[in-house]
Structure 1
Amino acid sequence: MDILKKYTGWFVLGTLIFYLFSVTQFTSVLIPTLLAWFANTAMWHTLAPSAKRQVSWLMGIGVAALLFAATQGVWMSWQQVFAVNLPMLAMFVAVSFLDLTSSKDESRPLPKGLSAIFNTAIGVNLLGAVINLSVIMVFADRMKGALKLTPIQQFILTRNFAAAAWWSPFFVATGIALIYAPGMEWQKTLIPGIAMAFVAIVFSSVEAYQRTKGDFLGYPIRRESLFIPLFMALAIILLHFIWPDVSILVLICLLAPSASIALMRTPSRRQTLTHFVNKKLPQIGSQFALFLAAGIFSNGISAIILSYPEFFNLDNFTFSPVLFALTLAGMIIIGLVGVHPVVSIAIASPMLLPLNPDPTQLGFLFLSAWAISAGSSGLTGLGLLMTSRYQIPTKDIVTNSAPYAIVMWLLCSLVNGFFL
């Protein structure tokens, strides 16, 4: 076990490298799968008690469902059970490298007023779209200063960070949507997704201004800090246009680490990268545990559905705009009570796929569920970060964001009905 802990970061890095090798069929997918589970075992001690409980329940229910389905003659392959979320884990490791390009600005005073609200919302959306969760902590730590983060600062950060799920190819939500909505064309959700993110930014900014009368301390955004997110997003779009047969996930796994290493500013690349692998990569244990457990859980659900097709028969339904809206509402509601979006997606996917839905519509459903529930819940990852690190009460997070969640649910349902 001590050996596992010592080399945790290298197991995490190996998951990405050998996943890419397996895509080219240079090695078996078994190798990155084993590395991912070794990394998960080594990082287990770093998980919060609540995360350990959630992961244990997911794994326990998943294994029980798989064993029961086996008694009914339904067997799932080891790749389905243990490696279904491997591409997404590799992507998560890849985008973690983007943290190497971020820089903290402690000298400039905090801006104030409507422009500060709007710039903070746009900044956390664009930077979060590429650099992911570390941006929330950089922004929040700087904005609170010697004081406490206010609930209004909290919802500007969490809602607009989560809204990047609608459009960013670097967001974990996109990886999940591509896996659980096979055949999804991410490019077709890009324009509707950008529109939804823009609405989220404007809605939250106006609400924050009305509630503070402009007395809001924002984050001091610099124009040069937005260069990397815009560059990375445009590069992915261009590369996918040049090589349409290469999946978005693989392009991200290749581009994110290589571009980060090329663009990082440090006296010693070797020293910085060694520190990153040994100290930073072992900190993503909760994501590894959750997504590996969700893979077992989702296949357990799938196996039960295959065992009793008559009970889960939705042949009388079609994936209509009404079913889209009802499913999205259900996923948002269970997100508010603490069910992580990846779990609700893992439940919904095997039930909806037999209806032969349009993969892009299904993908947009999953992206919308992620963006709204992650930005509104006090009990999933973002909300727990805000309650544990910044002492924002869970009740305040949910109460503040209930009107936002309803409005965005209605808009998503309309966008799906009219444009997708």
Structure 2
Amino acid sequence: MTPLKKHTGLKKYTGWLVLGTLLFYLLSVTQLISVLLPTILAWLANIAMWHTLAPSAKRQVTWLMAIGVAALLFAGSKGTWMTWQQVCAVNLPMLAMFVAVSFLDLTSSTDEKRPLPKGLSAIFNTAIGVQVLGAVINLSVIMVFADRMKGAIKLTPVQQFILTRNFSAAAWWSPFFVATGVALIYAPGMQWQKTLLPGLAMGLVAIIFSSIEAYRRTKGDFRGYPIRRESLFIPMFLALSVILFHYIWPDISILVLICILAPSATLLLMRTPSRKSSLAHFVNHKLPQIGSQFALFLAAGIFSNGISAIILSYPEFFNLEHFTFSPWLFSFTLAVMIAAGVIGIHPVVSVAIASPMLLPLNPDPTQLGFLFLSAWAISAGSSGLTGLGLLMTSRYQIPTKTIVSNSLFYAVFMWLLCSVVNGVFLSS
């Protein structure tokens, strides 16, 4: 009897730690409290949920943390120290968003027995839907689509690459994507409207390329997202809400808006006899199940900053002042940034490292911005260790090797196409 009580108490405690991560993160955004508090809660929740992780997830997290800590200590011995916020809290906004969008489970429709659409049209509709809606409401749309598509069975590798590639491709053209904000900051003077048409073209190519590949691999036996009025209501409601509130309060980031709107929409739209009992069950029993997301993202933050610290420790090896920002350098840099993403370095880390190396060459800001958008779009859709890949590994049990091998040819093809687009349409 006692062990059972202890286990139940631990689950209650864990759920409130997870919820506290979201609530106190939002408070830290308002600067009412320090970001230290939600960071501590996130790490405590990670410790409390460690026993729920699969052995493979534990191994991956352990390796990421070990390599990251070793790299940080080595860089520190060379005089390069990262701040605790960079190491421990870099992915805190992502964790807060995971908690927020988890609330959407409470609005799930009861039509799980209705068959999912199949065939080429289902592939195209899913690819277009996840890119267009993902362009606005970001990562939460992946979970809405994937949770519905997997149903009672696991998400397939083909479903995975349709979702991740086409969602990531929105980085080429969506002003709501974090990638656009990062490009505008790290490529000062970038004219986003000049990358819009090339970006839309790249997004369309991603849809066509991935859809044809999915059809060839499945012979049409592909279960897609049911693009019907009722199934799109919640994603559309979120998308329109994000657009409206972003227009009203443009200084509030899209991610923070999602952290506020997803739980709010859930409270508004959930169908249950008792909201109080449903929410209590959700906090006590459902939130403790997202331990793999917490572990992987916290470990990835340590790993990516360890790699970044090593690079910053040896600036002489990354000095490009004898070069010019030619189409060839664009292509080479893009290849390096994509490869860095595949091994787990977040695109924002690659951009932060590449920008100060390339700016002394006086590149065209729009070309530089397109480079950063392309690196983000391709690496995020092809890597098993950055944000999307970690989500697919932790939430849907798609192995990291499968994610990378699935999209290796896609990444090479899109890299070549970006190089051509830059050389033909953006080079002066």
Range of TM-score over shorter length: 0.7 to 0.9
Aligned pair in 2 of structure 1 residues 375, 117: CA closer, same or farther (>3 Å)?
Answer: farther
Q: Matched residue of 2:315: which SS?
A: coil
Q: Matched residue of 2:316: which SS?
A: coil
The CA distance in 1 between the partners of 2:242 and 2:191, in whole Å, is 11
The CA distance in 1 between the partners of 2:61 and 2:180, in whole Å, is 20
Offset of residue 394 of structure 1: 6.5
Aligned pair in 2 of structure 1 residues 59, 210: CA closer, same or farther (>3 Å)?
Answer: closer
Give 2:149's aligned residue. 139
From 382, 385, 403, give the equivalent of 1:373: 382
Give 1:242's aligned residue. 248
1:165 aligns with 2:165: no
Offset of residue 13 of structure 1: 1.3
Q: Matched residue of 1:132: which SS?
A: helix
Give 1:68's aligned residue. 74
Aligned pair in 2 of structure 1 residues 54, 187: CA closer, same or farther (>3 Å)?
Answer: farther
From 147, 155, 158, give the equivalent of 1:155: 158
Between 1:192-201 and 1:306-315, the stretch displaced more is 192-201
Aligned pair in 2 of structure 1 residues 258, 219: CA closer, same or farther (>3 Å)?
Answer: closer
TM-score by length of 2: 0.76
Aligned pair in 2 of structure 1 residues 10, 366: CA closer, same or farther (>3 Å)?
Answer: farther
The CA distance in 2 between the partners of 1:187 and 1:248, in whole Å, is 18
Q: Matched residue of 1:7: which SS?
A: helix
Give 2:319's aligned residue. 313
Offset of residue 67 of structure 1: 2.2
Structure 2 residue runs without a partner (length 5+): 1-5, 360-364
Give 1:268's aligned residue. 274
Q: How does 1:295-310 map to 2 (within 5 A)?
A: 295-310=301-316
Per-residue CA distance 1:120-155 (angstroms, 9 max, x = gap): 44455567753433632431346x7xxx98xxx742
Answer yes or no: is the 8 Å Cα contact 1:74–1:303 preserved in 2: yes
Q: Alignment identity in percent?
A: 61
1:40 aligns with 2:18: no
From 337, 354, 357, give the equivalent of 2:356: 354
Give 1:89's aligned residue. 95
Question: What is the number of equivalent residue pairs in this alignment?
Answer: 403
Offset of residue 38 of structure 1: 0.5
Offset of residue 216 of structure 1: 5.5
The CA distance in 1 between the partners of 2:40 and 2:390, in whole Å, is 26
Between 1:238-247 and 1:351-360, the stretch displaced more is 351-360
Offset of residue 213 of structure 1: 6.3
Counterpart AA for 1:354: P
Q: Matched residue of 1:252: which SS?
A: helix
Give 2:298's aligned residue. 292
Give 2:232's aligned residue. 226
From 247, 255, 259, give the equivalent of 1:253: 259
Offset of residue 21 of structure 1: 1.0
Between 1:182-191 and 1:231-240, the stretch displaced more is 182-191
Give 2:210's aligned residue. 204
Offset of residue 33 of structure 1: 0.9
Aligned pair in 2 of structure 1 residues 124, 65: CA closer, same or farther (>3 Å)?
Answer: closer
CA RMSD of aligned residues (A): 4.3
Q: Matched residue of 1:165: which SS?
A: helix
Give 1:52's aligned residue. 58
Q: Matched residue of 1:133: which SS?
A: helix
The CA distance in 2 between the partners of 1:277 and 1:258, in whole Å, is 15
Offset of residue 215 of structure 1: 6.1
Counterpart AA for 2:354: L
Counterpart AA for 1:367: W
Answer yes or no: is the 8 Å Cα contact 2:128–2:166 preserved in 1: no
The CA distance in 2 between the partners of 1:187 and 1:284, in whole Å, is 36
The CA distance in 2 between the partners of 1:285 and 1:99, in whole Å, is 16
Answer yes or no: is the 8 Å Cα contact 2:292–2:394 preserved in 1: no
Aligned pair in 2 of structure 1 residues 76, 239: CA closer, same or farther (>3 Å)?
Answer: same
The CA distance in 2 between the partners of 1:181 and 1:297, in whole Å, is 26
Aligned pair in 2 of structure 1 residues 176, 306: CA closer, same or farther (>3 Å)?
Answer: same
Q: Matched residue of 1:139: which SS?
A: helix
Counterpart AA for 2:284: N
Aligned pair in 2 of structure 1 residues 80, 159: CA closer, same or farther (>3 Å)?
Answer: same
The CA distance in 2 between the partners of 1:370 and 1:21, in whole Å, is 32
Offset of residue 250 of structure 1: 2.0
Answer yes or no: is the 8 Å Cα contact 2:165–2:378 preserved in 1: no
Counterpart AA for 2:85: Q
Aligned pair in 2 of structure 1 residues 42, 410: CA closer, same or farther (>3 Å)?
Answer: same
Between 1:26-35 and 1:179-188, the stretch displaced more is 179-188
Q: Matched residue of 2:289: which SS?
A: helix
Counterpart AA for 1:355: M
Counterpart AA for 1:329: A
Offset of residue 219 of structure 1: 5.1
The CA distance in 2 between the partners of 1:27 and 1:406, in whole Å, is 45
Give 1:8's aligned residue. 14
The CA distance in 1 between the partners of 2:400 and 2:70, in whole Å, is 35
Structure 1 residue runs without a partner (length 5+): none
Give 1:283's aligned residue. 289
Give 1:23's aligned residue. 29
